[in-house]
Chains A and B, each alone.
Chain A
């Protein structure tokens, strides 16, 4: 779906977050000059369309002790991926799991799974669990630990006409 101008104002107003007050949608409505009912209707519609995945808290992994994060990458037989990918994605310690194109010859990996843990040793154990799950359909793997955040910004929408 393509959000209309009012939806875009709503999206912009909530990019930093939702006000932590008893009636957050009424507070937003006041800010935008809309009714509370319209704000709720629009948010429900955006959610039904998949534009909003969920309204939730983003925890700070680092502050909760999840200091190590490793991007595990796997070279999985194409034919086996549709069955195996969802199983990897369902693991509770995998935060993101995607099929991506290989970049041969340098990069043979087509499955990416982000793994979090308190230590690198813990992440390494989780990597072994993924390897066991993939079994012989996996021809190779690697893990890339992040060493530094160089930039981090949320989703930013350009204003229309910009």
Chain B
């Protein structure tokens, strides 16, 4: 199931770009790739079932809907790391959380429906843990479009 053939790779590379909004979007992409619509759908379904594709669908920008995001970091003492991770992760606003090898060893993203939500959740985590939550909101995005070459 790990073996990707050339067609799978071409599909993976193409499908990281936008799917057209039309009645038969897979037929349109299949035509571009020179394969049949049913084959494209079957291969996508197989790659999704195999976990090569995490998700297929619209990528939403929460900020464009009025929501807010903020990258946060904490320096957590090693002996408290698991307990603090549980306290942080218990907040539904914590979208993801990574351990990193640095004095600031816990990095997470808060996603809230409005900007005021960021401060209240971060303050709450500080109160619960007694640790400082450094906040790194994005000031500007320099993004062109990352693609994983399959």
Q: A interface vs B, CB < 8 Å?
A: 1-3, 11, 14-18, 20-26, 36, 40, 43-44, 46-47, 49-61, 63-64, 66, 71, 85-86, 88-90, 92-101, 103, 106-107, 112, 116, 142, 144-158
- Contact A150 B97, CB 8 Å, known A57-B53, A59-B150: yes
Given A99-B140, A144-B101, A146-B99, A155:B60 Cβ within 8 A: yes
A161 CB to closest chain B CB, in angstroms?
A: 12
Main secondary structure of the interface of A (DSSP, over half): mixed
Residues of B close to A98: CB separation below 8 A? 138-142
B127 interfacial by beta-carbon distance below 8 Å:
no
Q: A100 is contacted by which of B22, B41, B138, B143 (Cβ under 8 Å)? A: B138
A-side contacts of B85, CB under 8 Å: 150-151
- Partner of B100 from the list A51, A57, A146, A158 (CB cut-off 8 Å) is A146
Closest CB pairs A-B (n = 5): A89-B142, A17-B57, A95-B146, A85-B142, A150-B97
Given A100-B136, A116-B148, A150-B97, A56 and B60 contact (CB-CB distance below 8 Å): no
- Give residues of chain B (117-150) contacting chain A, Cβ–Cβ below 8 Å: 134-144, 146-148, 150
Residues of chain A within 8 A (CB-CB) of B100 are 71, 144-147
**Residue count of chain B within 8 Å CB distance of chain A:** 71
Residues of B within 8 A of A150 (CB): 85, 88-89, 96-99, 106, 108
Residues of B within 8 A of A (CB): 12, 15-19, 21-27, 37-38, 41, 44-45, 48, 50-62, 64-66, 71, 73, 85, 88-89, 92, 94-102, 104, 106-108, 111, 113, 134-144, 146-148, 150
Whole-angstrom CA separation of A153 from B134 in the bound complex: 21
Residues of A within 8 A of B113 (CB): 157-158
Q: Is the CB of B57 within 8 A of A55?
A: yes
In Å, the complex CA distance between A146 and B65 comes to 29
- Give chain B's interface secondary structure class: mixed
Nearest CB on A from B59, distance (A): 4
Residue in B94, B104, B143 whose CB lies within 8 Å of A97:
B143
In the complex, chain A residues whose CB is within 8 Å of the CB of B38: 22
Q: A54-B18, A107-B104, A147-B100 are in contact. List 11 more A-B contacts (CB 8 A).
A: A2-B65, A15-B60, A22-B27, A40-B21, A51-B61, A58-B54, A93-B146, A107-B73, A147-B98, A148-B98, A152-B95
- Asked whether A66 lies within 8 Å of B148 as measured between CB atoms, the reply is yes
Q: Which residues of B contact A153 (CB under 8 A)?
A: 95-96
